[in-house]
Structure 1
Amino acid sequence: MTTHDPIPARLAALKTAKTPELKKQWRELFDSEPPAFNRRYLESRIAYRIQELSLGGLKPSTIERLEALGEQLDGGNMLVRRNRADDRPIVGTRLIREWQGVEHTVTVLADGFEWQGRPYKSLSSVARAITGTRWNGWIFFGLKNHRSRT
């Protein structure tokens, strides 16, 4: 007698589920409102949660190891921890932007940015130094579309 494993079928069904259905599943699986992220994010987190509940989560030793690695990376600074690493360009990246006929180059540092040999904590502060007005630095340097939320 073979047993039917419903997990692969549930995971496959996520691809064709309508967004309201995904949000409903999120509420059931996480007992919270779904975040305002894109569909792909909802699918992947729901898929992980389905498997986690069925097969078990990470071993305590793995969780402890991940937490220790996180501490090494951010020194326990919760502000750093909240910023996703993939939201930020890689250290050493050079961002180039032309403004009023002048080309400006900004270098990404581990703890901020550098423009004209001076350190800045944010891209917005660099953009303000260049333009003299308030700008969202991510938009100014073309890293984020001002019309979208991502």
Structure 2
Amino acid sequence: MTRTAKSTPVGEEIAPPLPAFPTIPRHEVLARLAALRTTPIGDLKAQWRTLFGKEPPPFSRSYIESRLAYRIQELAYGGLRPETRARLEALGERLDGGNVVLRRIRADSRPLPGTRLVREWQGVEHVVTVRPDDFEYEGRPYRSLSAVARHITGTRWNGWTFFGLRGAGA
């Protein structure tokens, strides 16, 4: 008996078969979620392998717990509807214009316009408003938080650190 190789048209890839994930009965969801807090980390990582079909990331316990909690609910109740996924994809395309490099940059690295940053310095409360392209302090625009921090303190500061958006030394 001879086997004939199937040919794949040039440019097309054959997708590997999707792994089969367990279904989780809805009546077990609350108990499983509650158990995550007391489950040893080794068992959490084993659950990750079962529920995601891959090795767990080297992140904190709280991250693993939160992702497992989401996955348990997703497998029990279903994930996002295809329409919702398509809508999120379309919104992402509008934000980054299809640029993969921009997509990898965290969108939440800058506070949203309208956010008020409050910092007490030498007994005085200072309020900065985030605007789309700059920052407003005492009715004046500033190009960066560092410029605002320099105006307030008279010394050079990392504005993100001064306003508590990033830890010192980060």
Q: Do the two structures share a fold, i.e. TM-score over 0.5?
A: yes
Equivalent residue, structure 2, for 1:46: 68
Tell which structure's C-alpha radius of gyration is larger: 2
Q: Does the 8 Å CA contact 1:97/1:141 hold for their aligned counterparts?
A: no
Looking at structure 2, the residues matched to 33 and 126 of structure 1 have their Cα atoms a distance apart, in angstroms, of: 42
SS in 2 for 1:84: helix
Q: Does the 8 Å CA contact 1:22/1:42 hold for their aligned counterparts?
A: yes
* Bigger proportion of residues as helix: 1
How much has 1:141 moved relative to structure 2? 1.8
How much has 1:55 moved relative to structure 2? 4.5
How much has 1:14 moved relative to structure 2? 1.1
Q: TM-score, normalised by structure 2?
A: 0.55
Q: Which amino acid aligns with 2:89?
A: E
Equivalent residue, structure 2, for 1:83: 107
Q: Does the 8 Å CA contact 1:7/1:50 hold for their aligned counterparts?
A: no
Q: Does 1:60 align with 2:82?
A: yes
SS in 2 for 1:133: coil
Looking at structure 2, the residues matched to 24 and 125 of structure 1 have their Cα atoms a distance apart, in angstroms, of: 49
SS in 1 for 2:164: coil
> How many positions carry a matched residue from both structures?
139
Q: Which amino acid aligns with 2:36?
A: L
SS in 1 for 2:129: strand
How much has 1:97 moved relative to structure 2? 3.9
Residues 11-22 of structure 1 aligned to structure 2 (within 5 Å):
11-22=33-44
Identity across matched positions, percent: 46
| CA shift digits 1:108-148 (9 cap, x unpaired) | 11344234623324x3454356544342x33312345549x
Q: TM-score, normalised by structure 1?
A: 0.60
Q: Does 1:118 align with 2:156?
A: no
How much has 1:63 moved relative to structure 2? 0.3
Q: Does the 8 Å CA contact 1:94/1:106 hold for their aligned counterparts?
A: yes
Q: Which amino acid aligns with 2:107?
A: N
Gaps of 5+ in 2: 1-23
Q: Measured at CA, do residues 66 and 144 of structure 1 come closer, stay the same or move farther in structure 2, by a change above 3 Å?
A: same
Equivalent residue, structure 2, for 1:95: 118
